[in-house]
Structure 1
Amino acid sequence: MNATAFITFIVVTFLVGVISWFKTRRHKITTSAGLFLANRTLSFTAVGSALFFTNISAAEFVGSSESVYVNNMTVMAWGISSVFAMLVVSEFVIPVYLKGAMSTTPDFLENRYDPGTKKLVSFLFLISYMVNLLPIVLYSGAVALNGLFHFSDIWHISYGSSIWILVWCIGLVGSLYSILGGLKAIVISDLVLGICMFTGALLLAYFGLSHVGNGNLQEGIHTILTSKTEHFNSIGTSADAVPFSTIFTGMILMNLFYWGTEQVIVQQALASSDLETSQKGIALACAGKLLGPLLFILPGIIAVHMYSSMQNTTEVFSRVVSDVSPPILSGFIAAVIFGAAITSFSPGLNSASTLFTLNLYKPFKEKKGRTVTEADLLRNSKRFEMFASLLAMFIAPLIIFSSDTFYTFMQKINAAFSIPIFTIMFVGFVTKKVPPIAAKVGLGFCFTGYILTQIVFDTGIHFLHILAILFLLTTTIMLIIGKLFPMEKAYMAQNKQVVDLKPWKNRHWVNGLLLLIMILLFVLFSRSGIAT
């Protein structure tokens, strides 16, 4: 371990923590709204940075670089195409949530269907967070840090043992951050770390390209643009990790779910002061997503020109940073990676706690006839966060046994929970009389169908296409049930007038520009562009 790199890592991490404390020291958490929604006072920069950095965990650095090194830039489609989904959510979904003063996305399901559907979906969200989202964040952070500092060599222990130790270190720090600081502290850290991340990415690109060019930046750029250019291709075939056709089937559905339904993401937008602020914040997050090729994919391209083979491809990003960066930059990037892990883990915990406390614990107590105070909600939410974090820390190291590439594994597990929930949300948005029983049947059918096609039967069809087929079948079943057994009274959304619902007047031309850039990026990284 390089002493300079490690000292830089400690100093930068400490400074981010101090800045977050300084900016939130007068923000006393005395209510559940303060813990979960920062009292709905976030600015558009805070919303945008929180949305972007909550989405960007160490998994993005680790998974994207590995996928580009092993395959090509088809993995780029996940981040770039999500811009379309984010703008759809900004225009049509967020206004509904804010209009109903909703604290969690399952609140919509209670209004649209019934309390039972809300509880069922809240339970599925919690399972997803504790066995998938939180463990993946911890594991990817541990892999990246071990690759940067080589703790397994320093401590003279196995690779697996070092991952266990690092998972628990990240998990404990992230738990304290969420429990003590709440959402306000998390979004302040996101803003600071966002600036650090873009700075680190630019510096890493400079040193990486210079390394490929034997000390000459221009020669490095020339090298990656003229050799092994097939790795620049983002238009995938059926043989690639992400076939281009999947963008228009399962991928768009998963992106719509993630940005419009996933509690850990939507909660950031719901904490905005009004609709205009939320829409500006989402547009800012879109701009960040469009920079994804520079941030997460270029290190993989650089690795292609540095290493003919690697035994452990999950360490592609970490090895590039270690081999091309001066010690100060290595420590700086390690601090960003650690911060990314913390500020993805902490919002995940905060959102899981929100779902448990408001959607399960509070209704259960009130059903028993007991009065639930704010102090009681805060106390039990923090207890649940401790339980969820401990469970995630036990599960995370087991991901090492996955046979898929890390990014593919992560998306396949996400899909098991996302599409069933998204489908019943979608039907709830576009219909008025489909009954609660249809939502419950739809959840069961879609979830069971996905598990059978991925574990029991080998269909030979890409899992994203399977998701689109299940979405259509589930929607059809729900509509048939709605036709046969419609609700007596049509659903009507209520305006609770908690925040100003006036939309951002400049959103259309800004959104159009963002979509144009999205399309141009696919053209640039294709065989018609630089992947010739």
Structure 2
Amino acid sequence: MNSLNIADYLVFIVYFVIVASYGYWVYNKKKKAVTDTHDFFLAEGSLTWWAIGASMIASNISAEQFIGMSGDGFFVGTAVAAYEWIAALALIIIAIWFMPIYLKNKIMTMPQFLTNRYNSAVALIMAIFWLFLYVFVNLTSILYLGAVAINGLLGGEYLHTIMIFLSIVALIITLGGMKVIGYTDVIQVAVLIIGGLATTYMALSIVGEKLGMGASALAGFQALMKDSPEHFKMILEKPHAGSSNLDIQKYVVLPGIAMYFAGQWIVNLNYWGCNQ
């Protein structure tokens, strides 16, 4: 059974207390003041560029990436990064062509944009669709995967308790609007970067140690490059008649160069530019 020591528990407790307390403090502060949709969605225009950037990254990276995409990476390889490469290009397009339109017309949400462009019926359909998608797909999967990870560390007996706890913390943060989300996401990004680098370093060190090359992250990385070079191809080759069933399955998941020219553009432009 996996177990955590006192230091591990302290890290979790301090992290949740800081994030949740800040969210609750801003929520109470806002509750006493007159607020509107501009305040809630745009944080009164008070967010700095670095807070906005951090919020975008933190809102995007979650258990889906740390668990889901890591699993895809184990199965397919680094080619799974195609999703993020296209996202980077999509963000440039959105910043240059989408954002000026939103700012010029003072658009805060997509239902508002659809109301102005078409009518309220179209906006309502879109709002209901996204609401159901987020509640029953996005948020549910993120909370579940996060709970699975923490549950595995705690021994496998607290899944539902963890999901409830994570839901409460998420609710407290969200009630404060974008100002709370924006600045708490700065904390989230720092934790994600430090945690991601630490996890990568420890994993590679363990690989090196298990292969008798010493507890060295560099040795572990070199061992992976030598043993599984196919996992470091950014574009998968199209299967041929002699390809294995495994190669065909990988190509079905990530269809080579087509990933960079097909539907991923629609997904990323929608996700980053039309998602509120």
TM-score of the pair, normalised by structure 2: 0.83
Asked whether the 8 Å contact 2:20–2:173 carries over to 1, the reply is: no
Following superposition, the deviation at residue 21 of structure 1 comes to 6.3
In structure 2, the residue corresponding to 1:30 is in which secondary structure?
coil
* Aligned 8 A contact 1:49 1:190 in 2: yes
Conserved 8 A contact 2:207-2:220: yes
Tell me, yes or no, if structure 1 residue 73 matches structure 2 residue 85: no
The Cα of 1:14 is off from its aligned counterpart by 2.2
Contact 1:74 1:243 in 2 (8 A): no
Please tell me whether the aligned partners of residues 63 and 145 of structure 2 are also in contact (alpha carbons under 8 angstroms). yes
User: For the residues of structure 1 that align with 2:41 and 2:47, how far apart are their CA atoms?
Assistant: 12
Alignment of 1:255-274 (within 5 A): 255-263=268-276
Cα distance in 2 for partners of 1:22, 1:31 equals 15
- Structure 1: state its 5+ residue gaps: 156-161, 264-532
Structure-2 separation of matches of 1:23 and 1:172: 16
**Are residues 1:34 and 2:30 paired?**
no
Aligned ranges for residues 5-16 of structure 1 at < 5 Å?
Answer: 5-16=8-19
Matches within 5 A, 1:209-358: 209-214=204-209, 215-236=215-236, 237=238, 239=248, 240=250, 241-244=253-256, 245-263=258-276
Give the alignment of 1:429-468 within 5 angstroms.
none
How far residue 261 of structure 1 moved from its aligned partner, in angstroms, is: 0.7
Counterpart position of 2:87:
82
- State the distance in 1 between where 2:61 and 2:71 align: 16
For 1:225 and 1:68, locate their aligned partners in 2 and report how far apart those are by CA, in whole Å: 14
1:167 equivalent in alignment to 2:163: yes
Matched residues in 2 for 1:218 and 1:39: separation?
A: 47
What is the TM-score normalised by the length of structure 1? 0.45
Contact 2:86 2:260 in 1 (8 A): yes
Q: What do residues 102-158 of structure 1 show as CA deviations (whole Å, max 9, x unaligned)? A: 1211222222222222222222222222222221221121122122322x2xx4xxx
- Asked if the contact 2:4–2:153 (Cα under 8 Å) also holds between the matched residues in 1, the reply is no
SS in 1 for 2:107: coil
Give the deviation of 1:91 after TM superposition: 0.7
Q: Percent identity?
A: 28
The superposition leaves residues 289-311 of structure 1 with CA deviations (integer Å, 9 ceiling, x where unpaired) of: xxxxxxxxxxxxxxxxxxxxxxx
CA separation in 1, counterparts of 2:135 and 2:24? Answer: 27
How far is 1:163 from its partner?
3.2
Q: Which residue of 2 aligns with 1:130?
A: 135
After superposition, the CA RMSD in angstroms is: 2.2
Report the equivalent of 1:192. 187
Per-residue CA deviation, residues 341-369 of structure 1 (Å, 9 max, x unaligned), is xxxxxxxxxxxxxxxxxxxxxxxxxxxxx
Distance between the aligned counterparts of 1:35 and 1:229, measured in 2? 48
The answer as to whether partners of 1:73 and 1:232 remain within 8 angstroms in 2 is yes
Provide the C-alpha distance between the structure 2 equivalents of 1:113 and 1:248, rounded to a whole number of angstroms. Answer: 29
Aligned residues: 253
What is the one-letter code of the residue matched to 2:18?
L
Deviation for aligned residue 1:35 = 2.5
**Do the aligned partners of residues 167 and 22 (structure 1) sit closer, same or farther apart at CA in structure 2, a change above 3 Å counting?**
closer
Who wins on radius of gyration, i.e. which is larger? 1
What SS class does the counterpart of residue 208 from structure 1 fall into? Answer: helix
**Equivalent AA in structure 2 for residue 51 of structure 1:** M
Gap change, CA 1:221 and 1:26, over 3 Å in 2: same
Cα–Cα, structure 1 residues 247 and 175, in superposed 2: closer, same or farther, change >3 Å? same
Q: Are the structure 2 counterparts of residues 29 and 220 from structure 1 closer, same or farther at C-alpha, using a change threshold of 3 Å?
A: farther
Question: Secondary structure of 1:249's partner?
Answer: coil
> In structure 1, how many angstroms separate the alpha carbons of the residues matched to 2:112 and 2:261?
29
Q: Alpha carbons of 1:21 and 1:107: their partners in 2 closer, same or farther (altered >3 Å)?
A: closer
